[in-house]
Every structure is written in C-alpha cells, then in structure tokens.
Amino acid sequence: MRTAIFSLWLSAVYLCLLSCSDGLASDARKTATVRAVERARGAVANIHSEKTALDKDPAFRDGPPRKVNGMGTGIIVDERGYIVTNQHVIADVDALRVTLFDGSTYTARVISYDRKHDLAVIKIDPSRSLPVIPLGTSSDLMLGESVIAVGNAFGYEHTITAGIISSLSRDVEVNETQSYSNLLQTDASINPGNSGGPLLNLDGEVVGINVAIRAGAQRIGFAIPIDDARKFLARLLNTGRLNDTYHGLVTRDVKSPQNLKLVVDSAEPNSPASAAGFKPGDVVMHAGSVAVADQADLERAFLGHAPGEEVEVTVLRDQAAVTLKVQLARNADPNVNHASSQVVVRQPKENFDDQVWRVLGLRLAKISTAQLDTFRTRYRGGMKVVDVRGDSPAAQNGIQPGDILVGLHIWETTKAEDVSYVVNNPKLVSFDPLKFYVIRGPETLFGSLPLARERK
C-alpha cells in the first residue's frame, strides 16, 4: 500500500516538474527585447495614407489624377487617440487610415504639424481608452546601447528590428528643403513605412522617433531624440492653438537618467495659473487624470477642457503634495503666450459640395457615361451643373444649370475627386484664371474663372 502511494507521489512530482520546467523554459526565452516589445507594441499605430498625384507622363495630360498609397507609423501619446508621427507621412494626404496592434482600424484626421522638425499629430476616435507609449529619455543613451525599431516597414505592419545606437548626434541633410540636427543614428533596420515609429530601449520605453534612412546604405537609420521630440510635441498639442484655452503656466522640462519632471518657472500675471497659486520651483505631478512628466503631458491634460472649466493640478512643493485648481481662460486674453509660429493647426476640411460652391459657385452631380453618350462627345465622363451661385465666377462667365463640366485647367472632371483635386491643388493660384470646359447641347464651350476673390 505504501509502495503504491509513494509511486503516485513520485508521478505527481514528475508531472509538476515537467510543467514547471516548461514554464521556466518559456520565461527563459523571453529576452529583454521580447519584454520591451510586449510593453510598447500596443501603443504603436500603423498608418496608411492616400493622396492624389499628378502623372508626369505628358501623354496622360487629359487623364484624371492618380491615387497614390503611402504608409508610415505613429505612436499613441494620449488615451483619447492622439498619435504623433512624421510630418512627411501626412503631407498632402486626402485620407488616413490607422490600424492598431489588436487589428482595430480607424479613420484619422490631421490635427497639427511642424514642417521644420518633421512632426505631426493625428487623431482617431476610439470607443475605448488606448495604451500610451511608455516614455523614456534620450539624455542617458550610450554608444552601442541596444535599441529596437517598431514600424510599418514596406507595409508589413508591426515589423520589429533590433540594433544599437551608432551615434548620439548627427546632422543630416535630406534634400534642399529638409534637414535635421542632433539625430540619433542606429543600425536597427529602418525602411520606408517606419517613419514616425518608436525607437525603444530594452525597458520598452521610447527614446526616439524614427525619421530617415541613408539612401543607398545598409543599416544606417536616424531617429529624433525623444527629449527633443517631446518639446516639439508640446507645441503641437498647445491648448491655445487647438482648444482656444489659456493657462499661463511657464514651465521647463528636466530630463536626466534619474528623473523626468516638469518644473514651474513662473505664472504669467493675471493668468489662470497665477490665480491658482503656482509658485516657481513647483514640480507638476498630475493634471486632471494625467501623470505629468513634461510639457507635452501638461498640454494634453488641459486639452479638451472648455474655457471656464476647472482642472485640478497636483504639485510637489517643499516635499509636500499641494492641489491647485486652474480655471482655464479663453485664448483671446492679451497675455496669451502663443506657441511657435512654425506649428500649423489643420482646420477641419469643408465637404466637397460646400467647397466647390464657395470657390467656383457650382453645385455638381455626377453624370453617367450612358447619359453622356446622348451628347455624342469624345469625353469619358463629366459632372452635371445642378445650380450656379449668383455673382460667382461660374455665373459671371456663363456657366448654366444643365451644362456638363468635362474639364478644369488641363484635367478632365469625370468625378467629384477630379474637381476636388483641382480646387485643393497647392498651385491653384498659378491657374488663376481657371480654364473650364462644358458641354451644352451639341457644343463644347470653354472660358476662364477668375478665382482671387473667391479664395479668400
């Protein structure tokens, strides 16, 4: 009997050891790189873009503009769906689509961008709170330190590559209009589509934003140091520009290997911050529900609150936590400290109908090829003029309801996207007056639309 019980006990111990050893083996395979990726991957966004491009082939002169697909990567910096990426990823795009690590997909819109420093903020509207990228510092990076790049390389979403820091400060000139200073150089593979994605340390913290590669070279990539990027991000999220609110806090980031903190230098006179009682030397710890490590955190904490709304801010003062209440003011206050003028806030786009009505003075509807055949023309399609605004360029130059708009400038107008491309073209000023072609009865008529007054 005792022998049987002992045998059962040995079997149980053996099975337990097998199970435990499997767990130990699994844990042993989880290297620092694996753990770093697991910590950060949920806050990485894959960006897919669509923009309209002109075909350079002269033979395509009468054809419609082409749609070009692009790709990039972004980093979630706020639970509500604010994502930072490179400006060149979102430049001149018509549409943005973001895919997260869990496979969920969202339409995104551009909030603000900074061409000089090649950074932008886009926004999605999730139904849940999103993970935010763990924040590191670039102040203590070491030559040869291991780093990880995560990105949408050539459209392969969430591609992971690893390497080291090859240099701590590089000045890089990409072309005549774009140059960078103080970039990190890494041999972690960075490919087209990685732009805007994170460069991680082995703690899974973001220490850089991948921005460029050396054309023709192998494993020479560059990233914006995160300490620099966060300063620019604070301007991109500035509540005065995005939210029409004003707080009046003057602060500075302190970033060292031992500490990340936001220190109050002053409160502007007659500002909400002054009324709340901030003092020089206060260390901002929390604002609303946001744990504050730098100016970017402070701005996003205030973002979304209306003028007159109170936000509780906790500061460390003389080794004690003090809670202050900031009642945000409207940004019309003459004491507003405006952000850098190089930051551009993207205003919501007009819809197609309103834009064409404002610029050209036309209401348009698509006409089918079959309907166009009744006119016995050589055109592949057109837009029917439904209405003409009085005193508009269209009305003053003879366009009438019932006309079929078949061309603007050098492009045919077979669909709404063709007209939108012309109206939104950055070279529109050089088209003024804008040549148009319409079908009326058996004839094709043409004329020119002066646009200077309508563009205002």
pLDDT for the residue numbered 336: 43
Tokens of 283: 């260390």
> Which residues are known catalytic residues?
88, 118, 195
pLDDT 10s per residue in the chain (456 long)?
Answer: 555 555 555 555 555 544 554 555 567 889 999 999 999 999 999 999 988 765 554 444 445 566 788 999 999 999 999 999 999 999 988 889 999 999 999 999 999 999 999 999 999 999 999 999 999 999 999 999 999 999 999 999 999 999 999 999 999 987 777 889 999 999 999 999 999 999 999 999 999 999 998 877 889 999 999 999 999 999 999 999 898 899 999 999 999 878 899 999 999 999 999 999 999 999 999 999 999 999 999 999 999 999 999 999 999 999 999 999 999 998 854 444 444 457 888 766 667 777 888 888 898 887 766 666 665 556 777 888 988 988 888 888 889 998 889 888 888 888 888 888 888 777 777 777 888 888 888 788 888 888 754 444
> Residue 242: which of 343, 386, 359 has the closest Cα?
343
> What domains sit in the chain, N to C, each tagged with a CATH number?
39-123 (2.40.10.10), 146-229 (2.40.10.10), 237-345 (2.30.42.10), 352-449 (2.30.42.10)
Tokens of 257: 């290997």
pLDDT for the residue numbered 54: 57
pLDDT for the residue numbered 456: 40
CB burial of residue 165 (10 Å; 0-12, 13-18, 19+): buried
Q: How far is CA 15 from the centre of its chain?
A: 52
CA 120 – CA 114 distance, rounded (Å): 6
Amino acid at 287: A
pLDDT for the residue numbered 376: 56
> Do residues 132 and 77 touch, judged by C-beta distance below 8 A?
yes
pTM for the structure as a whole: 0.72
CA 55 – CA 329 distance, rounded (Å): 49
Pure H helices in 392-448: 393-396, 416-423, 428-431
pLDDT for the residue numbered 297: 97
Identify the DSSP state of 352. H
